[in-house]
Structure 1
Amino acid sequence: MDGQYEGKLAVLTVSSGGQVTVSYAWGDVADNKPGVADGAGRIVGNTLKLGRLPNGADATFAMQPDGTLSATYALAGQTYTGAFTRQ
């Protein structure tokens, strides 16, 4: 994410209404140490918007035509962007 930290997203469940459960892991970012948080969100169109994570971050992921996810991660007044690829 902006060359400053790494993140990983695992989608655990997807309901027919677009509700999802996820596990999100992040590296060192701002004053937060690396961690993992379970969360929930919703897919609308090609965008997955997570509810606020326990560390206070907001994360959004949009599927791109090339199969990557364009990610936006906002925490403590800073916004980070990057691309996630399937591993």
Structure 2
Amino acid sequence: MYEGKLAVLTISPRGSVTVTYAWGDLADNRPGVADGAGKIVGTTLKLGRLPNGADASFAMQPDGTLAVTYALAGHTYTGTFARQ
């Protein structure tokens, strides 16, 4: 199991966002936290590349959860985030 947390800090009227993203152990990637920026298009938030080299996107689902895609070092991981 992989754990992560996403905190959306700001959202502009045009969909630009700033976030803080925290992640746990995943393969060779150690836990960490990073501030980042991204863009919301439709129901998907796509972050710019994180400092650890990962790409992450979050798609809002009808039940209020986020479907997460996290790509790092040639591997893609998927999962769901629930609001806490």
Query: Which TM-score band (shorter chain)?
Result: over 0.9
Q: Which residue of structure 1 lines up, in the alignment, with residue 44 of structure 2?
A: 47
1:30 equivalent in alignment to 2:9: no
What is aligned with 1:12? 9
Deviation, structure 1 residue 18 = 0.1
2:67 counterpart letter in structure 1: S
- Matched residues, number: 84
In 1, distance between residues paired with 2:15 and 2:67?
18
Aligned to 1:71: 68
Work out the CA distance in 1 between the residues paired with 2:77 and 2:31.
15
Which residue identity does 1:57 align to in structure 2?
Answer: A
CA distance in 2, matches of 1:60, 1:32: 18
Structure 2 portions without partners, runs of 5+? none
Gaps of 5+ in 1: none
Partner SS, residue 62 of structure 2: coil
Letter in 2 for 1:13: T
Deviations, residues 19-51 of structure 1 (Å, cap 9, x unaligned): 000000000112111000000000000000000
